[in-house]
Chain A
């Protein structure tokens, strides 16, 4: 899920904006924020989190957000897909039917009702979900929010030529027929001719009092109430919708509204007088305003946070602490102990092996075995960068994770974290075919180049021929997602959209997967994926994901390099600073200014 790649290393000033609606981490050093993740039981940080999160907030003051980016990739709720942006707008301006609990630890990935009166009511077969909207929910002009507004918001996702970059679960999950090309017969609210509006009206149904919305799905989904935490399922007033232009003129439903948005400079959020506290148990709405300052240098942001002077005492960031400052911030220095956190982000970093170019399973396994994973973690910043990974499902996706055994016995012997060139050579010899030459593609940044040099060295130690191909970071995913341009080995990263590996395995290895960099085309595997998707018994489904994860690793379609981590430092007067596991970011809506 969710992208926006802020490569920590890419300092020279430019944020790498990923225009894809795919969740992707550019790099070893990339920092991405997404939905998911459960408790990060990290030592020092955990304690800091608890102490920081305790206590009731005080109203008033200004929260300052500093960022490297020139602007938000999107403000339009149907187009937001970056974890940190979801966390930010959901916390301040954009209400959803349900939302993730703003709490540290495991509680942060549970959901609570927001605009809806409860967590939704599924039908017996879980193919139909109903949510009732609370009284008193309004837009910023005071007009009430009803089912028709949510329905209109959802309909916008179908206008794929206008509403780009957002999640497309509405299209893939709602029970609307597909035409011959596989596209939905419903084309969104902007098309009049040849548009099957009736099909959409059957899939999303409003009650007569405009209070209850019912979603009819094309498959059972026991966790659809997690899906609607995405702002893509939030209301939009049809009268105010300007299509593409809505990105710059969003109508708020939350406690704040946008009073100023100058790209490259700043965004100011002020209180929305028409928001009623009585209709919203979710947002405490402490500060009087929130000011986002754009286009700042990452090194400068860190220095301001470390100095912690004046207005910088109320600063939070979208990006984590830069690698060079981590040792300083986490040295146990009392200046930082109470205002820093170190924990897991939602992402698995891995190398995708293109099965079209490396069709031999043993060749792929040789790559996995030869790789010096420990060195790659060192280059990314050591233990701050993450832990050795053993699959594409991360332990913070607790239900669906099980050790895959990849590095203990899967390839016939235990594989050291530093790689095993001899075992790799043996695998190549046993394959009976010569190893094809490998080209490794990665987004250019100083750290990625060093990692690439390490990959080249460790694979060549096993007798392979390796060519490095650095790609300009902003274009990276555009290039490698193109089957014509993708080479043998590709750097990638992925995090789930919600607490279910249904947003991981099918995306990465499924026939229709949006991020199938491994170019997997395996009918037997696909059948199992489809069977798992249709399961309503969550325990059985989890077992299926565990098995499919293990199978993918046996095939070595992907070589996990690390389960990523993230570190934040905030100003000393910011209250409720903690790592929100739902999005790997701050729980923005919960922040307050200490007096």
Chain B
């Protein structure tokens, strides 16, 4: 916590006057111990996910290499205690295949986080744009957008995901994607498609109230072009809800990916993902408990850290909503 950036450090000692909204929020956030721990945990996990290919190579691990020699000849269970944990395989190996669990966990983080982050970026861009347009323009455009979001929100999301899976993945594969890319692409498309209406609604509401504010009226009166009003006047005031929405959405999407992979419509072999690891490991809870424990714990830590951090960000950006510190 002490390693805050230069200007912020200066600001702590400076008089409280003259702080921007962002600076105020950052200050509140920094004082929230739990949030900072959660943030560093997330930075750590994202760092690992990004560096995985290099790290795994450095450790001499391979997430895809089958190895029968670390399994019992009868039953194909990991040899040794703790799921076959050893110096070569720090978290043990997968029953039946002997693939290294640490490598698969790290590659799985990459896949799970990539899907969640990519989806959420698309959701943020699409949802914000549509929300602003609907809120600012109003009229028939607002009605059409409002009805479409209602329509999308009315779809049973998970049911649609499962039902659409074979059709859409086949289409994507026919379009030239590898089966692996098709599954990942499918999840991103569907998450984004069903995810943006929530944010669009939120933004629309914000824009409706912003539209009546003096600075917007002033900009309109001074003859500013619409684009300037939307993106220079309004957007900066919408960052708070967007950031909150994003941080709260990511863990939901990670969990959703896990659920879908668990149900068999998400990621397919040999690509590792946390949900798939969980699904495979459940049967072994009695004989190789560590196998279930590893992806379960990883999933729990990430989702929990995101939730804690997201909560704190919301409090920091809008102290009226909760247990604000400032």
Binding site for B on A (CB under 8 A): 11-12, 299, 303, 322-328, 330, 372, 374-375, 378-384, 444, 446-447, 449-450, 452-454, 456-457, 467-468, 470, 472
Contacts and interface: CB of A to CB of B under 8 A. Distances in A.
B97 A327 contact: no
Contact of A449 (B71, B98, B268, B284): B268
B96 A381 contact: yes
Contacts of A470: 268
A349 to B, nearest CB: 16
| Interface of A: prevailing SS | helix
Contacts of A468: 179
Contacts of A454: 66, 97
Contact of B269 (A327, A375, A381, A450): A450
Contacts of A446: 279-280
B283 A450 contact: no
B72 interface: yes
A97 to B, nearest CB: 41
Contacts of A449: 268-270
Most buried by B among A372, A379, A447: A379
Nearest to A306: B286
30 contacts: A322-B283, A324-B287, A325-B286, A327-B72, A327-B74, A327-B75, A327-B77, A327-B287, A330-B74, A330-B75, A374-B68, A375-B66, A375-B68, A378-B68, A378-B71, A379-B66, A380-B76, A380-B96, A381-B96, A382-B73, A382-B76, A384-B74, A384-B75, A449-B269, A453-B64, A453-B270, A456-B270, A467-B179, A468-B179, A472-B166
B266 interface: no
B269 A453 contact: yes
Interface string B275-317: 0000110011011100000000000000000000000000000
A12 B270 contact: no
Contacts of A372: 66
B74 A324 contact: no
A453 B280 CA distance: 15
A446 B166 CA distance: 17
| Interface of B: prevailing SS | loop
A11 B283 contact: yes
Nearest to A378: B68
B179 A381 contact: no
B104 to A, nearest CB: 12
Nearest to A372: B66
A381 B76 contact: yes
Nearest to A375: B66
Contact of A452 (B264, B269, B287): B269
B84 interface: no
A214 B260 CA distance: 59
Contacts of B264: 12, 444
A323 B286 CA distance: 12
Interface of B: 64, 66, 68, 71-77, 95-98, 166, 179, 263-264, 268-270, 279-280, 283-284, 286-288
A179 to B, nearest CB: 41
Nearest to B94: A450
Contacts of B72: 327, 382
B97 A450 contact: yes
A13 to B, nearest CB: 11
A472 B170 CA distance: 14
Contacts of A328: 286-287
Nearest to B178: A467
Contacts of B280: 446
Contacts of A457: 64, 66
Contacts of A323: 75-76, 96
A378 B74 contact: no
B75 A381 contact: yes
Contacts of A447: 96
A483 B71 CA distance: 39
Nearest to B173: A467
Contacts of B71: 378, 382
- Ranked nearest first, the 4 interchain pairs of A and B with the lowest CB-CB distance are A449-B269, A327-B75, A453-B270, A382-B76
Contacts of B77: 324, 327
B76 A378 contact: yes
A380 B96 CA distance: 7
A12 B261 CA distance: 13
Nearest to B283: A324
Nearest to B262: A12
Most buried by B among A328, A446, A470: A446
B268 A324 contact: no
Given A374-B68, A384-B74, 6 more contacts: A12-B264, A322-B283, A330-B75, A382-B76, A444-B264, A457-B66
Contacts of B269: 449-450, 452-453
B114 to A, nearest CB: 20
Nearest to A381: B76
A324 B264 CA distance: 20
A50 B66 CA distance: 38
B96 A379 contact: yes
Contacts of A384: 74-75
B284 A324 contact: yes
B74 A383 contact: yes
Contacts of A326: 74-75
Contacts of B66: 372, 375, 378-379, 454, 457
B98 A378 contact: yes
A378 B96 CA distance: 6
A115 to B, nearest CB: 42
A472 B264 CA distance: 11
A468 B98 CA distance: 21
Contacts of B284: 324
Nearest to A342: B74
A328 B96 CA distance: 15
Nearest to B97: A450
Contacts of A330: 74-75
A328 B95 CA distance: 14
A467 B176 CA distance: 13
Contact of B95 (A11, A299, A324, A472): A324
Contacts of B283: 11, 299, 322, 324
A382 B75 contact: yes
B280 to A, nearest CB: 5
A379 B76 CA distance: 7
Contacts of A11: 283
A390 B264 CA distance: 34
A475 B280 CA distance: 23
